[in-house]
């Protein structure tokens, strides 16, 4: 039998051979329309490298194989290509929707051994399913330092996988979240390996995992299925005894976690949950690990946390997993906090949010980097950047004299009223509208003229969507005056008056449809604007005897009609008492109030001193003191006696820095709580009607 590759006898040359340089090769095998299986996949793949010379093959460092094949068949394809591509450093195996498929899990070790021999330079391996992690110990001592599993792949992390992973002393990166390797798996994929861990209790190497329980496990497991519970145990085991060279672990399940290691120790954990329950589950994973290793967590980064205030507060109660995790953490960094509000006006959302914010800030020892307040399905009522106020170095130019002892007080913000916030918001909205009004109206009229000349769907889509602004004593009399205020019908009176204006100004006549076919006539009639009403209107008093209203129409032509009619009314019905303008669609009281609140926050930040960040040991300990408070009386820090006078001096610096930091964020906390209340109060004053 000839030892030549199949393509050598046909004289076929792959287009790849024409390239001077090629660093990445992707091979995708697809089914023919009349076939159920891919015929001769290895032979087809070999054609991709037919005639490729050693100089080109030497530069191909990444090989991606994709095809609806059983795993052994896809590996056979890889082996066929390995004869030419001996310098591949990254190998991706994508056999959706099969995953491990029907392959016996006990044969995975042999399969990985084959890959190890075929690709001696392999450094990164991307697997199609978590079940394929079993048997990876075959790569022990090789160059393989990164293992990834495609995102959304089937199966779960099991103890058999952990046993294989911990036997890879050279493994540095373990990505079980499939970063940049998204897969779209069919719902019937199944790689559960039900029999793989039947003898788990008898495994001496993994007996330690049986002792990795936590007092809160019963509560934690209550809302988890058996697969999720098994994954939690396996993850705990992996974190307790990771591969010695491991630097990073990415975990996909809620909460998403990224764990940093150095010398087999956890140095940082980043939780990317979305609600308070995610933090609970993340804490449930970490607490037994820290207890088993007898170490504290140096740094905890929490992602953007969003939930209702009462749920957040409940997770921060004493003896909850989250509180116990914070107690054994040196430093906490909260990226973002979103406090959800209830839709019912009978519940004081801002007051509850302020209480929750206080609980979070005092629990983590500082402010979140971003604070948001609002509900689902609508823009946030408040959105602030709240990064800590620290200068770049100790004693920097930005440090105010005496700042450590005298942080700025929130008195200025405390004196601001909701009415003042509304007046500033109204002024901002009006000034912005006036600056763009002429251009907006001109653009809207030009689009209307084009639509009148050519009554088509395309022209209708080009119509300019805008809102109408009205302000002055006439608006106050209509909405906030004795008649409207006494009856509480200011919004209804405003809406009725606005609709009467639209009715006075008929829509423009569109192009004649004479001679058009019945079908076109029906389409034009359907697209033509009918009786248009004002969709929504809102108003607020914006000064002594004056109010401003924002009117939104569902139809762009109706908005232009309303603007023209309002201008005529301002000149005829209310001369000198009514001003009219237009603004681009998207303008809203919520947006402008949020901007005013942000300005108040920035004013406070500028008026407050910037604290110098201590350097060296004092910096780290100062942050820890700010987060956890001073040590208990009589408590001795590790190494304190050996440090002598240097340690004592550093301790004094830590205490000063810690007290200054606490005073600073306590001051900021008071301001933020006040701004939350102002936000809600300002929105409550705005009247609206639909």
Q: What is the mean pLDDT of residues 182-194?
A: 45
| Mean pLDDT of the residues in the chain | 77
Q: Is the pLDDT of residue 246 over 90?
A: yes
- Distance, in Å, from the CA atom of 317 to the CA atom of 315, rounded to the nearest integer, reads 6
pLDDT band (50, 70, 90) for residue 45: confident
Q: Hey, what are 621's tokens?
A: 């300990």
Q: Which residues contact 40 (CB under 8 A, 6 or more apart)?
A: none
Q: Is the pLDDT of residue 399 over 50?
A: no
Give me the percent of the chain exceeding a pLDDT of 70: 71
Q: Hey, what are 473's tokens?
A: 């004593």
Q: Is the pLDDT of residue 205 over 80?
A: no
Residue 393 has what pLDDT?
34
Q: Is the pLDDT of residue 655 over 50?
A: no
Is 365 in a helix, a strand, or coil? coil
| Selection from 462-466, 621-625, 643-647, 651-655 with the highest mean pLDDT | 462-466
363-397 confidence digits (pLDDT tens): 998 899 999 998 665 667 888 988 655 433 333 33
Residue 167 has what pLDDT?
95
pLDDT band (50, 70, 90) for residue 532: low
pLDDT band (50, 70, 90) for residue 411: low
Q: Which residues contact 207 (CB under 8 A, 6 or more apart)?
A: none
Q: Is the pLDDT of residue 593 over 90?
A: yes
Q: Is the pLDDT of residue 561 over 80?
A: yes
pLDDT band (50, 70, 90) for residue 408: very low
Q: Hey, what are 240's tokens?
A: 């307790």
Of 635 and 437, the one with more pLDDT:
437
Residue 247 has what pLDDT?
96
Asked, as a colleague might, if the bond just before 158 is cis with ω within 30 of 0, I would say no
pLDDT band (50, 70, 90) for residue 564: confident
Q: Is the pLDDT of residue 203 over 60?
A: no
Q: What is the mean pLDDT of residues 551-573?
A: 86
- Distance, in Å, from the CA atom of 409 to the CA atom of 401, rounded to the nearest integer, reads 15
Is 59 in a helix, a strand, or coil? helix
- The arrangement of strands across the sheet holding 579-584 comes to 579-584, 466-472, 546-553, 534-543, 687-689
Residue 684 has φ and ψ, to the nearest 5°, of -70, -25
Q: Is the pLDDT of residue 630 over 50?
A: no
For the ranges 126-130, 238-242, 452-456, 654-658, which has the lowest average pLDDT?
A: 654-658
Q: Is the pLDDT of residue 239 over 90?
A: yes
Residue 648 has what pLDDT?
45
Torsion of CA 425, 428, 432, 437, to 10 degrees: 70
Residue 354 has what pLDDT?
93
Q: Is the pLDDT of residue 473 over 80?
A: yes
pLDDT band (50, 70, 90) for residue 6: low
Q: What is the mean pLDDT of residues 632-657?
A: 41
Burial class (CB in 10 A: 0-12, 13-18, 19+), 438: exposed
Of 294 and 29, the one with more pLDDT:
294
Task: Give the domain 1-190 fold.
Answer: 3.80.10
Of 123 and 104, the one with more pLDDT:
123
Note the helical H segments in 119-243: 159-165, 217-221, 226-240
Of 597 and 152, the one with more pLDDT:
597
Cite the residue boundaries of each domain of the chain with CATH code 3.80.10: 1-190
Asked, as a colleague might, if the bond just before 255 is cis with ω within 30 of 0, I would say yes
Residue 179 has what pLDDT?
58
Q: Which residues contact 31 (CB under 8 A, 6 or more apart)?
A: 37, 38, 68
Q: Which residues contact 648 (CB under 8 A, 6 or more apart)?
A: none
Cite the residue boundaries of each domain of the chain with CATH code 3.30.70: 418-508+529-590
Q: Is the pLDDT of residue 304 over 80?
A: yes
- Distance, in Å, from the CA atom of 51 to the CA atom of 13, rounded to the nearest integer, reads 5
- Distance, in Å, from the CA atom of 675 to the CA atom of 331, rounded to the nearest integer, reads 27
Burial class (CB in 10 A: 0-12, 13-18, 19+), 248: middle
Q: Is the pLDDT of residue 572 over 90?
A: no
- The candidate with the shortest Cα–Cα distance to 252, out of 155, 336, 349, is 155
Domain 418-508+529-590: give its CATH code.
Answer: 3.30.70
**Angle 688-689-690 (CA atoms, 0-180°, nearest 5)?**
135
Q: What is the mean pLDDT of residues 645-659?
A: 45
Of 111 and 626, the one with more pLDDT:
111
- Distance, in Å, from the CA atom of 446 to the CA atom of 454, rounded to the nearest integer, reads 12
pLDDT band (50, 70, 90) for residue 508: low
Q: Is 367 in contact with 388 (CB distance < 8 Å)? A: yes
Q: State how far the alpha carbon of 505 is from the alpha carbons of 453, 555, 557, 588, in Å.
A: 19, 14, 11, 25
- The candidate with the shortest Cα–Cα distance to 478, out of 429, 535, 545, is 545
Q: Which residues contact 363 (CB under 8 A, 6 or more apart)?
A: 316, 322, 323, 326
Find the distance separating the first CA and the last CA of the chain, reported in whole Å.
Answer: 84
- Distance, in Å, from the CA atom of 677 to the CA atom of 351, rounded to the nearest integer, reads 7
pLDDT band (50, 70, 90) for residue 137: very high
Residue 124 has what pLDDT?
96
Of 641 and 594, the one with more pLDDT:
594
Residue 431 has what pLDDT?
93
Q: Is the pLDDT of residue 629 over 60?
A: no
Residue 604 CB neighbours (<10 A) = 21
Residue matched to tokens 């049986």: 210
Secondary structure E strands in 128-264: 146-149, 173-175, 248-251, 256-262
- The candidate with the shortest Cα–Cα distance to 17, out of 65, 85, 75, 97, is 85
Is 500 in a helix, a strand, or coil? helix
Q: Which residues contact 499 (CB under 8 A, 6 or more apart)?
A: 533, 534
252-294 confidence digits (pLDDT tens): 876 788 999 999 999 999 988 778 888 888 898 999 999 999 9
Strand partners, 124: 90, 146
- Distance, in Å, from the CA atom of 536 to the CA atom of 494, rounded to the nearest integer, reads 10
Residue 518 has what pLDDT?
54
């Amino acid at each position: 039998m000839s030892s030549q590759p199949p393509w050598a006898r046909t004289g076929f040359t792959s287009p790849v051979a024409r390239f001077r340089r090629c660093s990445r090769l992707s091979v995708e095998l697809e089914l023919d329309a009349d076939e159920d299986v891919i015929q001769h996949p290895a032979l087809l793949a070999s054609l991709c490298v037919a005639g490729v010379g050693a100089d080109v093959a030497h530069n191909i460092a990444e090989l991606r194989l994709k095809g609806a094949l059983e795993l052994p068949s896809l590996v056979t394809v890889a082996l066929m290509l390995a004869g030419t591509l001996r310098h591949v450093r990254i190998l991706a195996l994508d056999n959706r929707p099969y995953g491990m498929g029907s392959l016996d899990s006990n044969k995975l070790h042999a399969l990985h051994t084959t890959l190890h021999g075929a690709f001696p330079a392999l450094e990164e391996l991307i697997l199609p399913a978590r079940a394929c992690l079993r048997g990876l110990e075959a790569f022990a001592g090789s160059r393989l330092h990164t293992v990834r599993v495609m995102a959304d792949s089937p199966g779960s992390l099991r103890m058999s996988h952990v046993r294989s992973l911990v036997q890879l002393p050279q493994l540095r990166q373990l990505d079980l979240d499939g970063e940049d390797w998204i897969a779209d798996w069919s719902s019937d994929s199944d790689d559960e390996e039900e029999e793989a861990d039947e003898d788990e209790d008898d495994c001496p190497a993994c007996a330690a995992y049986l002792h990795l329980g936590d007092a809160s496990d019963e509560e934690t497991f209550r809302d988890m299925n058996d697969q999720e519970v098994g994954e939690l145990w396996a993850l705990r085991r992996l974190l307790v005894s990771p591969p010695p060279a491991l630097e990073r672990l990415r975990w996909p399940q809620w909460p998403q976690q990224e764990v940093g290691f150095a010398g087999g120790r956890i140095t940082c954990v980043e939780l990317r949950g979305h609600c308070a329950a995610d933090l609970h589950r993340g804490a449930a994973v970490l607490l037994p690990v820290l207890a088993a290793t007898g170490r504290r967590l140096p740094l905890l980064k929490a992602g953007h946390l969003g939930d209702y205030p009462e749920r957040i507060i409940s997770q921060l109660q004493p003896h909850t997993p989250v509180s116990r995790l914070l107690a054994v953490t040196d430093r906490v960094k909260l990226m973002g906090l979103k406090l959800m509000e209830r839709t019912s006006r009978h519940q004081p959302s801002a007051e509850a949010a302020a209480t929750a914010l206080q609980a979070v800030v005092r629990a983590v020892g500082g402010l979140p980097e971003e604070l948001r307040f609002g509900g689902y399905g609508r823009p946030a009522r408040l959105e602030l950047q709240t990064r800590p106020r620290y200068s770049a170095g100790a004693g920097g130019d930005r440090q105010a004299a005496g700042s450590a002892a005298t942080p700025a007080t929130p008195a200025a913000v405390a004196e601001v009223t909701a009415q003042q916030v509304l007046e500033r918001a109204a002024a901002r909205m009006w000034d912005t509208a006036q600056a763009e009004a002429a251009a907006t109206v001109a653009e809207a009229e030009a689009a209307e003229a084009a639509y009148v000349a050519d009554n088509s769907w395309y022209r209708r889509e080009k119509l300019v969507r805008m809102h109408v602004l009205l302000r002055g004593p006439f608006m106050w009399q209509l909405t906030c005056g004795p008649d409207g205020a006494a009856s509480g019908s200011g919004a209804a009176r405003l809406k009725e008056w606005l609709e009467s204006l639209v009715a006075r100004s008929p829509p423009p006549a569109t192009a004649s449809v004479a001679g058009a076919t019945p079908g076109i006539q029906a389409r034009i009639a359907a697209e033509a604007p009918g009786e248009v009403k004002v969709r929504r209107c809102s108003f607020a008093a914006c000064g002594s005897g004056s109010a401003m209203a924002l009117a939104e129409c569902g139809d762009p032509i109706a908005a232009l009609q309303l603007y023209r009619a309002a201008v005529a009314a301002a000149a005829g019905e209310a001369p000198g008492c009514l001003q009219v303008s237009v603004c681009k669609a998207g303008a809203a009281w919520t947006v402008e109030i949020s901007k005013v609140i942000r300005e108040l926050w920035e004013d406070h930040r500028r008026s407050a001193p910037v604290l110098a960040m201590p350097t060296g040991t004092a910096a780290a300990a100062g942050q820890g003191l700010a987060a956890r408070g001073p040590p208990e009386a009589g408590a001795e820090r590790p190494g304190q006696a050996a440090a002598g006078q240097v340690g004592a001096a550093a301790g004094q610096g830590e205490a000063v820095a810690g007290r200054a930091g606490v005073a600073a964020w306590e001051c900021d906390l008071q301001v933020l709580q006040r701004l939350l209340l102002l936000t809600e109060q300002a929105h409550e004053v705005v009247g609206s009607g639909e």
